[in-house]
Every structure is written in C-alpha cells, then in structure tokens.
Structure 1
C-alpha cells in the first residue's frame, strides 16, 4: 500500500540520509487570514491573475478603474503572501511577488510558522491540491469562491524545512530554464520578423550578380485563383486558417469539424497555395492570408479565396509578408466594400487586383530567401519542442514531488 506521507520522488539530505516522513497540517495551522487595511492608498493596486499571480495592474495593462473611496477599503498584500482568488478552484491559490493592495473580496494568507513560501507557491498550484478545492464550493454570483474556513479544512503537507528548500530550489531552476527557453524562442521570432521587414523595405539584400531588381507586381500577375471543387468528396480533410498556426486541420485547430456534411462544393487547397479567409480577428479586421505548408491536399469553405503563386518560394514570401497585421491592413483596407447591412466585403477579383507589392521575381533569389527564413523557422520549431519537453518535465515533477 502506498505511504501517503512520502511523495513518489524524493531528495536526499545533504548528509545522504533520507528526509523524515512528511507531516500533514490543516490550512489554518500553517496560514492565517490577514485583513490589514492600514495604508495610505499609495501602494500599487494588484490584479490577481492565474497567469501572473498577484501583479501591479499597470504592468499588465489592467483597465478596470476604482474610486478613491473604494481603495480605502483595500487590503495590504506583502511580498510572499498568498491570495485566495474568486477562481482559485480553477487554477490554485495565487502568490504575490509584490507589495501592494487588493480588493477586500480577496482572502490574504500569510504563514504563521517558518516555511519555504516558494514550496507552497508550487504546491498550491498542483492539480492534486486544486482537486481538493473543487470538492466543496460556495456559490457567489456567477462564479465560485473558496472561503478561509474551507481552506482551513484542507490538509497541507509539511515536510522538513530542508526538504522544502530542496524541492522549491529544484522547481525554481526548472522554471528559470523554461523562461530562458521562451526568451530564446521570442528572440528568434524577432530575428525572423525583422529580417522579413528589412527585406521588403530593401534594407538588406542577398547578393548575387544574377539577381534582378525587385519588381512591383499585383497578386493577379504572379498567381492564379483556384476555383477547383471537391468532386465526389475525394478529399476529406477540411482546413481552417489560423493567424498563428496558418493553414491547419480544422479538428486539430478547433477540436471538431464545423464543415457541412456534403463538401463537394468546397475548394481544393494544394500544398503551397495561399488562402485568404475573410473572417475578421482583433488584429486582422479584414481577414488573414496564409500559405498551405502541410504538404497535404485539403479543402476550405467556398467563401475563401484560394490562389496559387508562381513558385512555392514566392508563396512563402507572401505568407511572411502578410504575417504582419500592418501589411495586411494596408493592403486590404483600400479594397473594402461596405454592404447594405454595413458588412465589410472584399470579393476575390478585387482582392487579387489590389496594390502592387515589391517582390523578387528571380527564382534563385526567391529560393535563397526562402531557405534562409525556413532555417530560422526550423530552429524556432526545435526550440519550441525543447520548451514542451521542459514544461512536461515540470508537470511530471509537480505530480510526483508532493504527497
């Protein structure tokens, strides 16, 4: 039978001995409920978030305004405090890296015994603990709230302080590596986007005596629209078009298919084709333009515009150009036709006959640019895979380093 006083994975003490078994204490034996309103309202107002923990609102562009009178009733949060938020049952109890004040609707927890607070920062976010929080909830408006009394009724692990330190230090190292990995990815994306921008602004060039001067071309001069349908439902994979993922299997992207049962009237999309979807998003109010890089033939809604560039490499460059929300807006905005019901519409002919774009028309130069950018993209993919491994490792450790 499994001993509930030992986690699946354990560290050794510095002298090589095993640490003692873990004690279990009720929540109110480790944390007290703090309601300190002694402040001059000059501390930053904290937002209590699942993504950032407790963080000053101005650091995350938090827009909700409050009156001076209501701020008088706010509670003081010290660095290292924990906050029971209205959504604790979804994502655990939040930790504060900052001193500030927060709404009196929140419950502030502060240790009453010597503990490693970072140990509990991790423990109170584990799926095991969140499961405990879900067992009994008090309804509040349209959400749910964990009370201090209920928090107090849940047992918390209390290993020796030395073992707490070992666990928190190790998990902190994993977190630091994850943050470093995210920065590596962000930096590579900046390099790629900056390179694309400079290419189209003619600030950098790939040198070769045979490369010609870039030419201004309309889309209908360098591509042709695909109107081919899907006879006899020959192709069954339905694509969606995502601003971040590009052309992607609809079920993989959305979790289910939203296509009609009969898709013979859907348009075929071949590898290398570009797809213009007119569905607006916050960044792309007139739709997005992406290349099919799946190496598969699929279908899209007949409402989309599908067009084939002269070369795959040229289509790759167009995809990268239209990855920019600014470039896409500048191209599409002059083409918008306002319908009778105040709806925005750009027909396919108009879309393909828009402003001329400055493009490399030499195929060798297109391929050289494509290979260079795709190498950066491949590096980004590898780094994202490594990030996923670190994140999975952290999940495994969180599931096995605690009782």
Structure 2
C-alpha cells in the first residue's frame, strides 16, 4: 500500500491520459484486489480441508493459531483499505472522465480541432489555429484563453528545446534582484508555472504578486492581456533544435515520447509534424511582436552573454541594478557546467518520478553546431530552404556554429564526391 501511495503521489499525469487508466505501469488496482480476494479464499479452503474452521475455533486451536488469527485480522483491514482505494480510484476516474468529456465538447465547439496520429509519436495531436498541439494540453486551452495576465507577470516563451531553462534562470535572477538563495532552494519548475501543463491550475496564482510563467504555446492562444506581461522569447537555429528535441523525446517515458529513427524525425520536422509545429510560424509569430517583447537567440546568449543580459535587463527595467560584479556571478551561475550540475534546474528529479530513462540528461550539450554530428548534406540543404522561404526576413541570420563559406565548402565537397 505504501508503494502504491508513493506511486500515486508522483504520477498524477496517469489520470489525464486519454485512456483514463487507473493503472501505473503494469500494476492494476482492481486486479490486485481480485488476486488478494482469491488468495484469502484459497487459504480458507485449505484450513477447512484440515478440519479447521477459522470462524469457530476451540481454545486450544486459538492458542496454536494465534499468529494466523492476527494475520486474518490484518487481511480484513487490508481488504477494507483496498476496497476504499478501489472506490476512490473509480470515483476519480469517473469524475475525470466526465470532466474530459465536457472539456472535449467545449474544445470541439470552440477550436474545431483536426485530430492526427503522427508517425512514431505516442501522443495524438490536434491541429488548432494552424498549430499542431499534443493531446495532453488540449484540455487547458479554454482556461488559457480566458486567463488574465498583468504587468507584474513575466513569461518565458519558446519553441521546445530552444534554451528555455537558461532564459528562465536568467530572467528569474534579474527580476528578483539576484536572489540566489531562493534559486538554490526552489526547483525551477516550482518557480515558473508551465502554463499549458495539465496539472497546473492557473487560477491559483494570485494577481497581486509577481508571477513567473513559461510556455511553448504560440501567442495566438492567449487573449489581449498576454501583452501586458513582460514576455521574453528565446529562439534557436532549427538544426540544433531538431537534434535536441529528438534526443529529448527519445529519452522520456511519458505520453509525449517519440520512438522512431533520426531520419524520420527530420522529415517530420520539415513537414511540420512535431509538437507545437510549425517551428517557422512559431518564431515568426513571436518575432512579429518584437516591438513590445524581448526576442533573444540562444546562440547570442552563448556567444555574447553579457551583451544579451544587458539588453534583457533593459527590457525588464533592471538595467540600473545590473553591475559588473552581478554580471560576473550570473555568467558563472548560468554556465552550462554549472546548470548541468545544479539540481534545481537540471530536472534530474524526472528520473525519480519515472518520467525519463536513467540515462536522461535534460541539459545534454548546450552548444552551437551539434547538428553537424547528425545531419547529412541533403537534410541541411532542406533546412536552409525552409529558413529562406518560410522565415520572416526581419529575423537576423542564425548562427549555426559554422560560417556560410565553410558550410558551402562542405556542400561542394559532397557534390564532387557524388559525381
């Protein structure tokens, strides 16, 4: 029972899957209850075969079978507890099922989703407002659309695996006047509310205090109050995004996992069939707000940390508080090695919860140009084509960790090798 309660505590996501499963991994509450009942029935039968009536024992039998009697009493308590757990589980399942039915009805009426099964992706997706969203978050869209932001709020937005955690830590420390003590004590997932995550109840966050949010949703899913908040959008070159996202989705055990090969994932990214796609529209939509929000590239954060932080601090209205000494400490605190070894930001607790494989590393490499170890020439050219034809010309050229001249040399070399 203790093990079950521990699993129950750490797997609230189990109850929000579309199967409405009451199982955790391979265990089933009702099967366990049935097996327990059968075991007790078998034990009673064996006792009767030996001429022992457990309900009508002689004084001598009571002395000899004292331990068995105690065990019988224990079984009764366990039976009651397991029955109560089964009833509770059934009630939870039913209520969540009814809630999901109502939510799906609202979603279907308001957003008219087009449901899709993506190749090698475990989670079903819905095409809504020209974006492909995982089923897990669809039920939150109505709540998000009506949620009110204010000028005290700070939102870190990004396409997945674009430098979200790094920008969160920087923003949090700047906004809290470099409160490293709280950053040491509180997990980043608690400091920032993940807006679209199913278990996050947005209405629980009071408006009269500073609130920190993160999201991967495009701006089209928010109401007009969204722009009242301080919005920091971090973006990254699409080749490194693809590599990082591929390794992440292959490492997780929850519904969002991807089980296919690398080449298929590249193809899926190019045809806009990954979570939160299209990537290019995601970047375009946020960059179109560049006059009122702060857009910053992950590559700039790595290559010109101090300059990028100064620009960010100015946007947040904290440039006067930013000293050289603070910059020195912040740069060291937010270095890749420091972040990777920081238990409050590296998400190693996912391993304890069973969300990811034991080999999982949320902060994998944190470098520019890792795509060179994965892409072939044709794939690289297709990404170049996507960027040149679909991305807004207002967006500065990406840093791919290799110069355009050297990249072209690689293309030319490959062309000669093919002839």
Higher helix content, 1 or 2:
2
Would the TM-score normalized by the shorter structure come out above 0.5?
A: no
Give the TM-score range, shorter chain: under 0.3
- Give the alignment's TM-score, normalised by structure 2: 0.22
- Give the alignment's TM-score, normalised by structure 1: 0.22
